[in-house]
């Protein structure tokens, strides 16, 4: 069932999810996306550019963060526009991995255009890792 | 970075053919579990020709245009100092398996901020008929000398 725009209120939490990432997740994303930057799979390379270790691809974090919204609206085609700012790295420990948490709230409602803006709070270790993370979804 | 890059439009990159298995592979990688991303029958039942790509899949098509920017001989962009600042995708219609997509890059803005440079690159992606599908916009931050 597609959510009904007139039943939404700004501030409503519409979806929440946790994504446990491991080094395997990063290798899988590297292969799927074609982004083979070694800072996403080699600690020595990450450390040589001043990072504490391997970090997730920003585009992996962006890609997974919108999935709770896709599941809520029921069809990936309903996502009209999606933007983020990359503000903090997600370091993925070789043993512990990393868990990225997503909370999706209604940020704005445009009844005329049948569009809701969903604002995402995306955190790792209690700190936000994406800024101005917003998806506009078609609820016509 | 060369400020004269602002406004530059690059030649279109070679067309990208969206494969069904590639959409599935990318979907698994971004934890997309919706059947419309994986199952052609579910996609068709929802009114699509084939499986629908996740919203960030356009980055795979955009990538070749960013490579053009970084390789521009007079661009002066040091790849080792580039950090991804912002990313946006604006869709006219979703990307579906079977699409043949062509991306064209334009540099829309060059700014300096506290010793760093910021370049905004807009890749306009159209289908085989030339109709707009999605525009992928990246802001890259090039760190200055430390």
Per-position DSSP letters for A30-52, written without gaps between them: HHHH----GGGT-HHHHHHTT-S
Give contacts of B122 with chain A, Cβ < 8 Å. none
Q: Which residue has the tokens 């602002």?
A: B6
**In this complex, which of B29, B33, B93 lies closest to A28 when CB atoms are compared?**
B29
Residue A92 sits at φ, ψ, to 5 deg, of -110, 105
**Per-residue pLDDT averaged across B131-142, rounded?**
96
**In this complex, which of B31, B52, B137 lies closest to A76 when CB atoms are compared?**
B52
Note the pLDDT of residue B76.
85
Report yes or no: A118 and A107 within 8 Å, Cβ to Cβ. yes
Please check the confidence at residue A13 and state whether its pLDDT lies above 90.
yes
* pLDDT single digits (tens) A59-99: 999 999 999 999 999 999 999 999 999 999 999 999 999 99
Note the pLDDT of residue B144.
79
Task: Based on DSSP, count helices (H) and strands (E) in chain B, helices before strands.
Answer: 4, 5
**Per-residue pLDDT averaged across B36-52, rounded?**
98
In a mutagenesis test of the B interface, which of A63, A78, A87 is the best target, namely the one with the most B β-carbons within 10 Å? Answer: A63
Which residues 6+ apart lie within 8 Å of B22 measured at CB?
Answer: A32, B60, B97
* pLDDT single digits (tens) A90-129: 999 999 999 999 999 999 999 999 999 999 999 999 999 9
Please check the confidence at residue B146 and state whether its pLDDT lies above 70.
no
Residue A119 sits at φ, ψ, to 5 deg, of -100, 130
How many residue pairs bridge chain A and chain B with CB atoms within 8 Å of each other? 107
Distance from CA of A77 to the nearest CA of B (A): 5
- A137 interfaces chain B, CB cutoff of 8 Å: no
**A60/B86 CB distance under 8 A:** no
Domain A5-138 has CATH 3.10.129.10: yes
Note the pLDDT of residue B113.
83
Give contacts of B85 with chain A, Cβ < 8 Å. 85-86
Choose among A41, A1, A3: nearest CA to A139. Answer: A3
Give contacts of A74 with chain B, Cβ < 8 Å. 34
Choose among B58, B88, B43: nearest CA to A85. Answer: B88
Please check the confidence at residue B62 and state whether its pLDDT lies above 80.
yes
């Amino acid at each position: 069932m597609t959510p009904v725009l007139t039943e939404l209120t700004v501030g409503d939490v519409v979806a929440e999810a946790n994504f446990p990432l491991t080094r395997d997740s990063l290798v899988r994303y590297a292969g799927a996306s074609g982004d083979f930057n070694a800072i996403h799979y080699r600690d020595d390379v990450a450390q040589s550019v001043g990072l504490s270790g391997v970090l997730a691809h920003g585009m992996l974090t962006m890609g997974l963060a919108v999935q709770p919204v896709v599941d809520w609206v029921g069809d990936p085609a309903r996502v009209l526009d999606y933007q983020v700012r990359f503000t903090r790295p997600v370091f993925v420990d070789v043993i512990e991995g990393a868990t990225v948490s997503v909370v999706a709230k209604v940020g704005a409602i445009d009844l005329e255009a049948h569009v809701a803006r969903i604002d995402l709070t995306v955190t790792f270790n209690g700190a936000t890792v994406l800024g101005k993370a917003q998806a506009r979804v078609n609820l016509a | 970075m060369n400020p004269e890059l602002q406004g530059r439009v690059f030649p279109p990159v070679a067309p990208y053919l969206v494969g069904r298995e590639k959409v599935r592979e990318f979907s698994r990688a971004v934890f997309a579990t919706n059947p419309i991303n994986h199952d052609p029958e579910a996609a068709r039942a929802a009114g699509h020709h084939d499986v629908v790509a996740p919203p960030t899949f356009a980055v795979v098509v955009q990538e070749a245009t960013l490579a053009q920017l970084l390789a521009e001989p007079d661009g002066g962009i040091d790849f080792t100092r580039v950090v991804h600042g912002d990313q946006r995708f604006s869709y006219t219609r979703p990307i579906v398996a079977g699409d043949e997509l062509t991306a064209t890059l334009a540099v829309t803005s060059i700014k300096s901020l506290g010793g760093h440079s910021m370049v905004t690159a807009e890749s306009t992606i159209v289908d085989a008929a030339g109709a707009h599908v999605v525009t992928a916009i990246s802001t890259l931050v090039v760190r200055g000398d430390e």
